[in-house]
Amino acid sequence: MKYDADTQRRIIVEVFVAGCAFVADWLLFVFPLYQGRMELMESNSVYAKYQSTHSKKKGVPFLYWLFPPLYFRYVKKQNINGLNRLFKNKDDFRNFYGFYNKSIAWYFVSYAGFLNAVESTYGVLEDLELGFLTIPLFLVIVTSLFILGHHYVNYMASNQHRIRFIKSVASDYHRIKKQTPPNQPKNLD
């Protein structure tokens, strides 16, 4: 199809705006998901810290190791006892519950971002007028970006990323330290 210059400019602008919405909506899926993951990890660390400071570590009786269902029941009972102790201390429980609620809220924001991303992905493909390829390409793109988003969040929340970040900061610090001139003698006036 041949379009006049004004129509071509309008189509280019529409595709650009749809592309921007596509990127924004996928970011609104990934980063709230990451924030929710961080909040959930924080609530788990609050609980783990509480567990380590408020409970004596007991060894698991040998019988429980021989029969796994008993072992799982024993661990579950210990965790329930820990939660009961946590519920009795209002400040600790408030911290744990606050982080937990924030993580749930961020997951819902991420879900809304995902639904927007699905709609904008379809919109971009419709604007490109791909015909019969629209639906298969739509499914491939949505599935791929969904999986990539989850892998990115898992990587960002992993110890591997934390270690790589610390090494990068340490490397930058040493590089900057080497570039600065040695300390000048102090004036003793």
Does position 27 have pLDDT exceeding 70, yes or no? yes
Instruction: Please give the tally of structural domains in the chain.
Output: 1
For residue 68, what pLDDT band results from cuts at 50, 70 and 90?
A: low
For 181, how many CA atoms within 13 A lie in the half-sphere containing its CB? 3
Q: Considering only CA atoms, which of 116, 92, 104 is closest in space to residue 35?
A: 104
**Residue 73 is assigned to a structural domain of this protein:** yes
**Residue 65 is assigned to a structural domain of this protein:** yes
pLDDT for position 98? 77
**Residue 186 is assigned to a structural domain of this protein:** no
Domain with 101 in it:
5-172
**Residue 12 is assigned to a structural domain of this protein:** yes
**Residue 128 is assigned to a structural domain of this protein:** yes
> Rounded to an integer, what distance in angstroms lies between the CA atom of residue 64 and that of residue 142?
46
Does position 46 have pLDDT exceeding 70, yes or no? no
What mean pLDDT is predicted for residues 13-28? 91
**Residue 184 is assigned to a structural domain of this protein:** no
Poorest-confidence range of 19-33, 121-135, 153-167?
153-167
**Residue 127 is assigned to a structural domain of this protein:** yes
**Residue 101 is assigned to a structural domain of this protein:** yes
Mean pLDDT value across the chain: 80
